[in-house]
Amino acid sequence: MPKVFLSYSSAYGHLLEPFRRLLQVLEFDVDVFDEPDINRPPANVVQSRLGAADAVVVLLGPGERTGTPGSTADASRWPNEECILAVTLKKPVAIILHPGTRLPQLIDNLQTPAVFDFWDPSSFLRSVPHVLKHLQDLRRQFELPPGNHPFVFTKSVAHNRIQKSSLFVQVYHEAVVRQPWDSFHHSLDTGLDQSEDAVIKLLSEEVEIDAPIGGDLHRPEVVFGKRSDKEVEYFINLRPGLSAGEKYGYRREFELQNWFPMTRADLEKRAAKSGFPSQFRQDGRLYYGDVWDVLYEMDSIALIFHFSWKVKLVGYRALALTYGTHHVNKEETERCNTRDTVWIDEDPQSGERTLTLSVRRPVINHSYVLLYELGE
């Protein structure tokens, strides 16, 4: 259980117990000087206990209640100094701010604090969602897997709606950042297929994008980068950027020229071309599909194909390949071909068939391939 040092002033000591209980509910071990400011221990004791904490929560307000709305005041001495110390020691910090309290200059651009009137219960109740999010972001930093990458994708889902002349690709990612971050790099590509008939071409430069998690605070935008016949690079930029521990979920949809074969004859024609992947030939059968590369720790991935009822599907399977070398990982491939990992559904009314590969805890540095087989 991570230990958190709770910094506050006795001027608003009535907040101590509510925040102590809230942090305990979030499974923090709470350390706090539960005495009036006048009895504060020597600086070396404070530094030792704060230094032993995994994180710091600072209730930053003035030394006395201000009577004029909109006025500004210096922060109370102890939480102000402890806030500076926490940042100096590079501790994860969550700042809860009374309106009009001046932030230390060192902290000014560190994060956007949760704000409420420390002496107004109704203000606290209105701000509970923001305060709770702030503390959950702090707690989430201790739930991330080991590593030094700036962020972790906890979930990735890619939908490919395959039509005769167009392909609608909708991609969703959830990420938790370890440090302040404001941009995610992605690409659209033809995967393993390097044949001349597999071409990435945007039919529209307009990209539908939204962020169901965190979008009210951080606006996403798509910026395209380098382009080739096989790959279109793009970035999801956020304004403002995320603070350490924040979770963000964003999806976007692209309209592309379809390069997926939809008939057996088209697939056989493609397979005769140079650059067609050998991995699409399995057990004497010919398949086509797409790949998802897992380069970092992830909770889950899902790769999904949507087909019209007119497309004659006669089989499917999944592969797990080592990234780069594309050697088959037999044990992971077996796991990917179980009924609860790869399956097909059919809508009884529209006849649309949905082929899904859903993998929990995929292996790092592996490529997961979903394949479909076409009938005559």
In this prediction, residue 9 carries a pLDDT of 93
Question: How would you classify the pairing of strands 29-31 and 288-294?
Answer: unpaired
Residue pair 114/22 in contact by the 8 Å Cβ criterion: no
| Full-model pTM | 0.77
Q: Rg of the chain over CA atoms, in angstroms?
A: 26
The C-alpha angle 94, 98, 104, rounded to 5 degrees, equals: 60
Could you read off the pLDDT of 17-54 as tens digits, one per residue?
999 999 999 999 999 988 776 777 888 888 999 999 99
Residues 6+ apart with CB under 8 A from 5: 31, 32, 49, 50, 53, 55, 56, 57, 82, 86, 91
In this prediction, residue 287 carries a pLDDT of 97
SS (H, E, C) the chain: CCEEEEECCHHHHHHHHHHHHHHHHCCCEEECCCCCHHHCCCHHHHHHHHHHCCEEEEEECCCCCCCCCCCCECCCHHHHHHHHHHHHCCCCEEEEECCCECCCCCCCCCCCCEECCCCCHHHHHHHHHHHHHHHHHHHHCCCCCCCCCCEEEEEEEEEEEECCCEEEEEEEEEEEECCCEEEEEEEEECCCCCCCCCCCCECCCCCEEEEEECCCCCEEEEEEEEECCCEEEEEEEEEEEECCCCEEEEEEEEEEECCCCCCHHHHHHHHCCCCCCHHHEECCEECEEEEEEECCCCCEEEEEEEECCCCCEEEEEEEEEECCCCCECHHHHHHHCCCCCEEEEECCCCCCEEEEEEEECCCCCEEEEEEEEECC
Residue pair 251/212 in contact by the 8 Å Cβ criterion: yes
Q: Which class does domain 151-374 fall in?
A: mainly beta
Q: Give dist(CA 18, CA 137) in Å, integer.
A: 18
Q: Give dist(CA 342, CA 352) in Å, integer.
A: 17
Whole-Å CA distances, 314 to 40, 264, 305, 319: 75, 10, 14, 17
Distance spanning both ends of the chain, measured CA to CA:
59
Residue pair 302/357 in contact by the 8 Å Cβ criterion: yes
CATH assignment of 3-140, among 3.40.50.450, 1.10.10.10, 3.30.930.10, 3.90.550.10: 3.40.50.450
- Weakly modelled stretches of the chain, pLDDT under 50: none
Residue pair 217/229 in contact by the 8 Å Cβ criterion: no
In this prediction, residue 195 carries a pLDDT of 96
Neighbours of 127 (CB within 10 A): 17
In this prediction, residue 327 carries a pLDDT of 94
In this prediction, residue 370 carries a pLDDT of 98
Nearest of 286, 282, 280, 289 to residue 265 by alpha carbon: 286
Q: Within its chain, how far is the Cα of 46 from the centroid? A: 35
In this prediction, residue 37 carries a pLDDT of 67
Q: Give dist(CA 208, CA 210) in Å, integer.
A: 7
Neighbours of 224 (CB within 10 A): 13
List the chain domain ranges. Answer: 3-140, 151-374
